[in-house]
Amino acid sequence: MAEATTHTARYREIATVLRRHSLGFMVGLLGIGRLVPFRRGNGGRNGARTRAIDTGTAAQSNGETSPEHLRLALEELGPTFIKLGQLLSTRSDLLPPAYVEELAKLQDAAPPVPVADIRAVIRRELGSEPEELFATFDDRPLASASIGQAHAATLDDGTPVVVKVRRPGAVARVLEDLEILQNLAARASRRWGPARDIDAAGVVDEFAQTLRAELDYLQEGRNAERFAEDFAHEADVVIPRVFWEHTTSRVLTLERMRGMNVGDAVALDAAGVDRKRVARRGAEIVLKMTFEDRFFHADLHPGNLFIHDDGTIALIDFGMVGAIGEELRGHLSTLFVALVRGNPAMLAGALTSLS
């Protein structure tokens, strides 16, 4: 296990956390068991224990795992693992329903960064104190996530904005964890048939590429501007403006979007919003991204969608995006045509081409 020498302390931490949450069988599959002392009844090396993740059941007394233990372990391991769990929560083709449901509870939240540190980053990146750059700047964070912390501010012309500041040390930890995850996925694929069958190494490689891009706020700003261009003629879709004079790779200043959470049915009904129309319009937005623009928002969870009283949809958070090539678009088009026509043979052919 030569590659472990570079990140020995982190490998040991991962192994310890997995065993503490009754995921010891994964320690064996990943080949990192020798980094922590073996304790009987805490996971062991019995390959039969992998049945727990195959069925979504648990028997902690036997050292077997459960969906809840997996979620707790990912939360304890920090931002990179939380984001991987969030990705897996959207992949019902890879995990049993119980795991998908539990991983969907993962929240990309973190303890707030001290405001002194936030101000230091802004001063270093933009050259001035927040009070000199903005008409107002709220020291209380709007949100504190694993990679960045957001603060409300106002420009001199009165425009409300959100200032996203990358957490000090976030890049080093994320890059280290991504390298470790890629090593572990490759090893798991060699040791465990199911990991090889789902192309665990490929899943992690794609995840790593996306997350590395999310670390660069300049790229997120460019993504936002591309979406703004793509939806320039869609009056009921709003994309926040980027204020480049207050933006660097570590600080991103965007127009502040307000509205109701797309999942808050009570608030939507109270405002008289037609929820069926919102759902239909949301589907149309995704289809436009996929088939017309071939550039899509890869993190459209409810927290990144705001609904205005008139049904207008505002999108935020453009760090994770994807692009679709011409060949893939053709396969997806064939798949949808087969579904509409109810043609099983055509559908099977489209799925075979996609896979």
CB-CB contact of 297 with 255 (8 Å)? no
Which structure tokens are listed for 206?
């794609």
Contact 143, 126 (CB under 8 A): no
Of the CA atoms within 13 Å of residue 169, those in its CB half-sphere come to 4
Q: 3-class SS at 305?
A: strand
Q: At 216, phi and psi to the nearest 5? A: -100, 110
Catalytic residue chosen out of the listed positions 108, 177, 299, 317: 299
Distance CA 146, CA 109 (A): 6
Q: State yes or no: is 138 an active-site residue.
A: no
The structure tokens listed for 112 are 């707030």
Determine the Cα–Cα distance for residues 228 and 212; give it in Å rounded to an integer: 23
Asked whether the beta carbons of 151 and 162 are under 8 A apart, the reply is yes
* C-alpha torsion sign, points 299, 303, 307, 308: negative
Residues identified as active-site: 299
